[in-house]
Structure 1
């Protein structure tokens, strides 16, 4: 019966512990983003290069256009940081380390980038949606309107539809993988959460929010 299990279910089961740790960190760190746009914007900024890398290096078969977030992130960052945000933009160390790992994975075995596609986009469709909704409901959040929400908006698609499509793409592809590839995908999936955690830890603005409160 184990062979009939969708690989996405196995992946969730085998990364459950590290996923819980990552969720706790994200919820704690981005609690401040509920009332401070600069914290939210900095969170978008540290993940910007990761989305751009994946959307540049993965085929549309594995990462369809409707999932792409690069232009949406750029619109949000322009809203929060100003239209010249790229002029003073400097990639921080946590992002450089993450990108180096992604380039290494691509060179070693591009198939393993699927772990990053699955977890990062599923995370945006799950936790990212929840955080954005909480931000919009929080009366302390100034500037709550339809601008600045592009990254979590998927016009023409429901979140449920996109989650189902992403799982189907992943599970269909995984049917062609032998156990050695699946084992490597599980290892890279754990690395996704580790690298994501380092990005989240590098998000700036919490000290200033604490002082203001």
Structure 2
């Protein structure tokens, strides 16, 4: 490919920059709270488990050359890793947890794409798995650094790519996407980019549906208020008895 031709992945990054930034801000705001409560982290894993699982199962159902090519290494398959984490954080009955309306709508949209234009499912594969290799790694590191310490030495499986060079994996992943795009018509590329914006919109809706954050925020504010009142009381007592 000529150096003067813009890579398709670069085009996608530019075209989705605004909605991607909104998505990043929402994910960071929501899941920063998960540093304080593992149930919230588990809730986030729960919603994305269903999306990742749908995509991996669709890959097997469709058996499309391009779809298979995009999964550049078997380490990208995360279904079993999600299931192990969900059992750890949400317990043995995690599968009985009801899906939110936003998640049900997301899955219905994927089902419609599989019937009508299955190639567009690759937009979800590209952005979600790249996100796991990028922002997912950052969140995992923050949890290790700032999460509440306990005797639990459990290592999150979904974000664990031990033994693999993540930078190289991302490089190969992007190269595969660009290679696939070379065989797309301009119309197909435009449709793929339009669907890429939809990926982030759908992600924002399901992230916003994750419960538990409000109660945690209230608890943290309550604790902060209690500390503030104690400090004020000490200051007043000091002034009175000075």
Q: What TM-score bracket applies, with the shorter chain setting the length?
A: over 0.9
Instruction: Kindly indicate whether the alpha-carbon contact (under 8 Å) linking 2:40 and 2:212 is maintained by their aligned counterparts in 1.
Output: yes
Give the distance between the partners of 2:104 and 2:121, measured in 1 at CA.
Answer: 17
Give the distance between the partners of 2:147 and 2:105, measured in 1 at CA.
Answer: 37
- Normalised by the length of structure 1, the TM-score is 0.93
Give the distance between the partners of 2:152 and 2:17, measured in 1 at CA.
Answer: 33
- Normalised by the length of structure 2, the TM-score is 0.82
1:26-175 mapped onto 2 (5 Å cutoff): 26-58=27-59, 59-63=67-71, 64-86=73-95, 88-140=96-148, 142=150, 145-147=153-155, 149-175=156-182
* Partner SS for 1:152: coil
Give the distance between the partners of 2:98 and 2:171, measured in 1 at CA.
Answer: 36
* Partner SS for 1:90: coil
Per the alignment, do residues 142 and 94 of structure 1 end up closer, same or farther by CA in structure 2, a change over 3 Å counting?
A: farther
- Deviation of 1:107 after TM superposition, in Å, equals 1.3
- Deviation of 1:96 after TM superposition, in Å, equals 0.8
Residue of structure 2 equivalent to 1:15: 16
Per the alignment, do residues 212 and 96 of structure 1 end up closer, same or farther by CA in structure 2, a change over 3 Å counting?
A: same
Which runs of no fewer than 5 residues in structure 1 stay unpaired?
Answer: none
Per the alignment, do residues 183 and 138 of structure 1 end up closer, same or farther by CA in structure 2, a change over 3 Å counting?
A: same
* Partner SS for 1:151: coil
Per the alignment, do residues 2 and 13 of structure 1 end up closer, same or farther by CA in structure 2, a change over 3 Å counting?
A: farther
Give the distance between the partners of 2:111 and 2:167, measured in 1 at CA.
Answer: 31
Root mean square deviation of aligned Cα: 1.7
Instruction: Kindly indicate whether the alpha-carbon contact (under 8 Å) linking 2:40 and 2:210 is maintained by their aligned counterparts in 1.
Output: yes
The list of structure 1 runs, each at least 4 consecutive aligned residues, that deviate by more than 6 angstroms after superposition, is none
